[in-house]
């Protein structure tokens, strides 16, 4: 099998994806294929592609989807014939989990690289990409840096590990953590027909809406939840929690620049694992992943049929987790003035470093726009709360980050979003914060009271 041919088909598919709906481009690609001897073989997939090309050339316009699918099916058939060489870059535990899910029939070899930047590993990857017919690369956050040292033009597919696992509802861990149990408990409560409001946020939302303070809402926030997970939960709720009529989003000043799937932090890894179990158990689809052709390709060629059985959470186990977490959420503790200021500065400085992630910012803007439009189309209302922060935190956090966050959310229009920015609200003092940026129970109770006064159903 000619690698040049596989790369040429990849190029054709890329051109079609970049010029979606451009019939002129489709005709150009079709004409090119017919001019290249040896491009098509005598397989059923080649016949299907040839029929689509004939329709295009003869003026019987094939749809973009038909054309792209025909190319993709033919490409996959050629890759299956020669076999995939898989290069995994990153965490060794992740590659073990991935390997357990692989369909070996289409796999010739799998190579593991740690992603440490070792020159020998870089050379191994370069040589592998050059000498193997169908090289695929999968990487996790620990391996992402190594990719910057290598020209990946010879790889047929390069895709991120966590996105692949979530796309196909695979578990990133077999642990049944308290985070996963809490998400399941909250989700089950959200199915109650008397629930009017769903709260979605990261740790700010997690602490700002304790169960003790809300009656008509369920808080499905979680530490480190990013816009991608919120986007998935909104679209899932619109289909599966149709009785919920209002959505409250609670995120900080930096969250437009965040993507949970790109973190290397150990705690964050545990949160990803919790979401993988929660999403798989409840078949929560991430729309931003379903349109990624790389993930579709990988799942089709390399993954076994998914046989995940939903977790049998005993009611008493969920109750125990709920009781333990509610003790934390209901705590009124706050720290001394110096520690409070030091923590606020430290957190703001850490968050400010995220401002460099401009690509994540643009992706998150798109996801927020999509979910607000979907909520509006379904007659649901949405409130976006930037919660109160200590003055020292707000003074320290990056100014561009603050302005970008406020400008983007404020311009969404009142018909789609009620935007409330209490980041500098003077009603909140040190006694309302458990640390340098998170509310304690007294602060959370005050937030809920103030939101009710402006008409938010909680």
What's the pLDDT score for residue 25?
Answer: 73
> pLDDT tens digits, residue range 68-108?
888 899 899 999 989 999 999 999 999 999 999 999 999 99
What's the pLDDT score for residue 146?
Answer: 92
> pLDDT tens digits, residue range 160-203?
999 999 999 999 999 999 999 999 999 999 999 999 999 999 99
What's the pLDDT score for residue 116?
Answer: 87
CATH domain 178-306+314-453 topology: Rossmann fold (3.40.50)
What's the pLDDT score for residue 290?
Answer: 93
Q: Using pLDDT thresholds of 50, 70 and 90, give the confidence band for residue 35.
A: confident
Structure token digits, residue 197: 């409001």
Q: What does the chain come to in residues?
A: 458
Predicted TM-score of the model (pTM) = 0.94
Q: Which single residue is written with the structure tokens 């979680």?
A: 222
The Cα–Cα gap between 19 and 27 comes to 12
What's the pLDDT score for residue 62?
Answer: 65
> pLDDT tens digits, residue range 419-444?
999 999 999 999 999 999 999 999 99
Note the helical H segments in 40-152. 44-57, 64-82, 92-100, 119-131, 144-147
The arithmetic mean of pLDDT across residues 149-163, rounded, is 94
Q: Please report the DSSP string for 268-287 in residue order.
A: HHHHHHHHHHHHHHTT---H
Q: Which single residue is written with the structure tokens 């076999």?
A: 83
| Residue 305 DSSP label | P
Residues 6+ apart with CB under 8 A from 171: 97, 165, 273, 276, 277, 280, 308
Q: Using pLDDT thresholds of 50, 70 and 90, give the confidence band for residue 33.
A: confident
Mean of per-residue pLDDT scores for the chain: 93
**83-155: CATH number:** 3.40.50
The Cα–Cα gap between 263 and 246 comes to 30
Q: Using pLDDT thresholds of 50, 70 and 90, give the confidence band for residue 233.
A: very high
The larger pLDDT score, comparing residue 389 to residue 44, is at 389
What's the pLDDT score for residue 11?
Answer: 85
What percentage of the chain exceeds 70 in pLDDT? Answer: 97
Structure token digits, residue 312: 């049998």
What's the pLDDT score for residue 185?
Answer: 98
What's the pLDDT score for residue 163?
Answer: 98
Lowest mean pLDDT across 51-65, 128-142, 358-372, 416-430? 51-65
Give the CA-trace dihedral at 210, 223, 399, 232, to 10 degrees: -100
The arithmetic mean of pLDDT across residues 379-404, rounded, is 98
Note the helical H segments in 101-214. 119-131, 144-147, 161-167, 178-190, 203-208
What's the pLDDT score for residue 52?
Answer: 82
Neighbours of 203 (CB within 10 A): 18
Element (H, E) at 113: strand 107-113
Q: Is the pLDDT of residue 256 over 70?
A: yes
**What are the domain boundaries of the chain?**
3-81, 83-155, 178-306+314-453
> pLDDT tens digits, residue range 309-320?
999 999 999 999
Long-range contacts formed by 315-318: CB under 8 A, 24+ apart: 317/181, 318/181, 318/184, 318/185, 318/188
The Cα–Cα gap between 93 and 377 comes to 42
The Cα–Cα gap between 366 and 373 comes to 11
Q: Tell me which residue of 163, 124, 172 sits closest to 146, measured CA to CA.
A: 124
Q: Is the pLDDT of residue 326 over 90?
A: yes
Q: Using pLDDT thresholds of 50, 70 and 90, give the confidence band for residue 61.
A: low
Residues 6+ apart with CB under 8 A from 95: 88, 110, 112
Q: Is the pLDDT of residue 389 over 90?
A: yes
The larger pLDDT score, comparing residue 443 to residue 10, is at 443
Q: Is the pLDDT of residue 1 over 70?
A: no
């Amino acid at each position: 099998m000619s690698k040049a041919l596989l790369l040429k088909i990849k190029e054709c598919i890329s051109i079609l994806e970049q010029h979606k709906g451009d019939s002129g481009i489709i005709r150009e690609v079709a004409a090119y294929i017919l001019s290249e001897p040896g491009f098509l073989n005598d397989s059923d997939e080649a016949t299907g592609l040839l029929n689509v090309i004939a329709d295009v050339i003869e003026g019987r316009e094939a749809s973009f989807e038909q054309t792209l699918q025909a190319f993709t099916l033919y490409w996959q058939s050629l890759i299956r014939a020669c076999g995939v060489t898989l290069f995994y870059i990153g965490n060794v535990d992740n590659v073990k989990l991935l390997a357990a899910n692989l369909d070996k029939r289409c796999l010739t070899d799998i190579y593991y690289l740690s992603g440490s930047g070792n020159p020998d590993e870089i050379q191994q990857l370069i040589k592998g990409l050059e000498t193997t017919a169908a090289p695929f690369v999968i990487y996790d956050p620990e391996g992402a840096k190594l990719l910057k040292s290598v020209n990946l033009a010879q790889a047929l597919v390069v895709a991120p590990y966590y996105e692949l696992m979530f796309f196909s509802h695979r578990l990133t861990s077999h642990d049944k953590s308290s985070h996963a149990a809490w998400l399941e408990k909250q989700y089950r409560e959200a199915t109650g027909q008397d629930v009017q409001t769903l709260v979605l946020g990261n740790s700010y939302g997690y602490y700002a809406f304790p169960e003790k303070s809300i009656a008509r809402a369920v808080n499905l926030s979680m530490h480190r939840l990013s816009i991608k997970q919120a986007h998935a939960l909104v679209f899932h709720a619109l289909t599966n929690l149709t009785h919920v009529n209002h959505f409250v989003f609670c995120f900080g000043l930096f969250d437009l620049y965040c993507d949970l799937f790109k973190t290397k932090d150990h705690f964050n890894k545990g949160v990803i694992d919790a979401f993988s179990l929660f999403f798989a158990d409840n078949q929560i689809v991430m729309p931003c992943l379903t349109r990624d052709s790389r993930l579709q390709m990988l799942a089709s060629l390399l993954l076994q049929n998914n046989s995940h059985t939903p977790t049998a959470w005993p009611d008493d186990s969920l109750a125990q987790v709920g009781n333990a977490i509610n003790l934390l959420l209901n705590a009124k503790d706050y720290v001394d003035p110096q520690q409070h200021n030091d923590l606020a500065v430290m957190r703001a400085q850490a968050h400010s470093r995220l401002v460099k992630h401009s690509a994540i910012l643009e992706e998150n803007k798109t996801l927020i726009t999509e979910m607000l439009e979907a909520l509006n189309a379904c007659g649901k209302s949405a409130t976006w709360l930037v919660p109160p922060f200590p003055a020292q935190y707000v003074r320290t956090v990056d100014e561009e980050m603050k302005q970008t966050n406020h400008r983007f959310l404020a311009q969404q229009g009142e018909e789609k979003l009620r935007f409330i920015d209490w980041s500098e609200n003077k009603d909140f003092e040190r006694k309302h914060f458990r640390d340098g940026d998170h509310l304690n129970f007294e602060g959370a109770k005050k937030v809920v009271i103030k939101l009710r006064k402006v008409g938010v159903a909680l």
